[in-house]
Amino acid sequence: MLKVQLGDVYESGNRSRVVWSVDGLISVPGLGQIVRLVQIDGLGKVMLTADDLMCQQGFRKVRDVALPLT
What would the 3-class secondary structure string for the chain be?
Answer: CCCCCCCCEEEECCCCCEEEEEEEEEEECCCEEEEEEEECCCCCEEEEEHHHCCHHHCEEECCCCCCCCC
Return the percentage of the chain with pLDDT > 70, whole number.
83
Average pLDDT for 61-65: 76
Model confidence, pTM: 0.77
Res. 66: pLDDT tops 70: no
Mean pLDDT within 38-67: 81
Task: Give the span between the Cα atoms of 18 and 45, in whole angstroms.
Answer: 12
pLDDT value of position 39:
93
Average pLDDT value over all residues in the chain: 84
When pLDDT is cut at 50, 70 and 90, the band that residue 55 belongs to is low
* Domain residue limits, the chain: 9-61
